[in-house]
Every structure is written in structure tokens, then in C-alpha cells.
Amino acid sequence: MGFLANKRALIVGVASDRSIAWGVAKAMHREGAELAFTYQTEKLRPRAEKFASTVESDICFPCDVGSDEQIDNVFKELDNYWDGIDIIVHSVAYAPREELNGLYLDTVTREGFAVAHDISSYSFSALARAGRDMMSGRNGALLTLSYIGSVRAMPGYNVMGLAKASLEANVRYLAQSLGPENIRVNAISAGPIRTLAASGIRGFKKMVEYYEKMVPLGRSVTIDEVGNVAAFLCSDLASGMTGEITYVDAGFNIVGMSDRFLE
């Protein structure tokens, strides 16, 4: 029996078979969890339904996380299928594309700042609030995805770095808020992975090349490697962990200088 047997998980953020959320969904399914999915726009609905079916799920709801109404609706609808929920995975980020290229100070705007923080950080709290009643009394777990640009200045990540810093603080405050209800809240800080969110980012290929030279493992991480850690963090195996930011980055965050530069 898998270590997520009898667990029910809502996965927010599958857009393609390269999505980190898809790696999470596959790992959770393998470990025995029952899954439900949301999709951002109607355009993505057929794709979401196809992905759901490959992990034996027929539960898919629309959810733009910028809308409280749509977030509330997800849990109203879910109530018709499940009597409770154990896991919510938040794998969503957005900032206006123009603000992810060039120097931070040359690109940041009041509007872009607000949108980035709303969609990439506040939405995690919004999901936690809306899902709280269905999660109570069952060793629940919330998980989100972050990036090291939250704590180090990285070229071009810009306002997203500020939004991820907010998201990571969000993890700590949600952990403190929900601890008394035995709901744990954690994040994975993943290394760069070529997903839709990374496509069209200027210099992304060069960034991955640099990263592969820097990291102890000498290679990038995969969505399946992130998915395995996600499944663990949301399982009872991690019952003593909350408020934690766990790096799944081939060791990037611990390196000062790579030996490879002396070769």
C-alpha cells in the first residue's frame, strides 16, 4: 500500500505534462492518493480532464485563483464528491511577462507588483481559507512551490522574487495559523525546470547551463523528483514538519563555488 493511501488531494496548477504540479500528481497517485484538479481557463479544460483520467480522476473544476468566487466554488463542488480533503497543492505563479526581463528597478510597476503578489502568494492563503473546513480533523497538508529568487537576487526574476519571498512568509504564517488544527504547511523550492512558465523567459537555457555547472549533482532536477518530495511532505511520514521550505534543487542553494570552475 502506498504512503498516501486513503488521502484525497486537490492539485492546482497542472497546465501541461511538463508542469511541476503534474509531477506531484503522478507521485501522489502512485502512492495511493485520490486526486482532483483545477484548470485556469475553459481553454485548458479538455487537457485537464485528459490528465485527470490518466491518474484515475474525473474531478476537474475551473479555478482562476484571482477570483474568490471561483475558489469558493471549487470546495462547494468538491463537497459533492468527497466528505473531506487531506491535501491541497498550490503550484501557481504569475507576473506580467514584461517584468521578468531586464533589471528589477527598470521593470517593476505598481500594477505588476500587485498582480504578482495576488496570484503567486495571496492565492495560497485564499485556498487555505476556502479549504479549511473540509480539511479539519484529518492530518491535512498544504504545499506550495517556490524558487530561490525569493532569498537571492537572480537575473530577470525581479518582482517574482518579491512575490516568492511573500509566499515563503505565507508558509510560515499559515503553518502557525493552522498548526492547532493539525494542518501542516510547507513549500518546495525547486531548481529551474523547463515548463510552460519557463518558456519564453530570456536566457533560461543559459541559466540552466550555469546551474548545471554549479550544483553538486551536476544536472537539473525533474518534475518527478519534485513530485516525490511533495508526496512525502504531504504524507504522514512528514507529520513533524511544518512551515518548512525544502530545497529540491540538486544542491544549488548550498554551493559557494563549484569545483568545476577550477577544472
Residues 6+ apart with CB under 8 A from 255: 214, 215, 216
| Coil/strand/helix, residue 66 | coil
Nearest to 99 by CA among 85, 88, 86, 114: 114
Q: Which of 15, 28, 71, 143 binds ligand NAD (CB under 6 A)?
A: 15
Give the cell for residue 81: 464528491
Q: For residue 27, how many C-alpha atoms fall within 13 Å in the half-sphere facing its CB? A: 21
Please, where are the H alpha helices in the chain? 20-30, 45-54, 68-78, 104-107, 110-117, 123-135, 159-178, 204-214, 223-233
What number of H helices and E strands is found in the chain?
Answer: 9, 7
Decide if 81 is catalytic. no
| Coil/strand/helix, residue 175 | helix
Give the cell for residue 121: 502568494
Q: Which does 91 bind (CB under 5 to 8 A by kind): ligand NAD, ligand 0WE, none?
A: ligand NAD
Nearest to ligand 0WE of 59, 197 (CB atom): 197
Q: Which does 229 bind (CB under 5 to 8 A by kind): ligand NAD, ligand 0WE, none?
A: none
Residue type, 219: R
Q: Which of 114, 196, 217, 237 binds ligand NAD (CB under 6 A)?
A: 196
Query: Which one is catalytic: 147, 173, 211, 247?
Result: 147
Q: Which of 197, 229, 238, 250 binds ligand NAD (CB under 6 A)?
A: 197
- Binding region for ligand 0WE (CB under 6 A) out of 18-26, 35-43, 49-57, 151-159: 151-159
Q: Which of 192, 229, 230, 250 binds ligand 0WE (CB under 6 A)?
A: 192
Decide if 147 is catalytic. yes
Residue 92 within binding range of ligand 0WE, rule CB under 6 A = no
Residue 112 within binding range of ligand 0WE, rule CB under 6 A = no
Residue 77 within binding range of ligand NAD, rule CB under 6 A = no
Q: Which of 160, 162, 183, 226 binds ligand 0WE (CB under 6 A)?
A: 160
Residue numbers at the binding site for ligand NAD (CB under 6 A):
13-16, 19-21, 40, 63-66, 91-94, 119, 145-147, 190, 192-193, 195-198
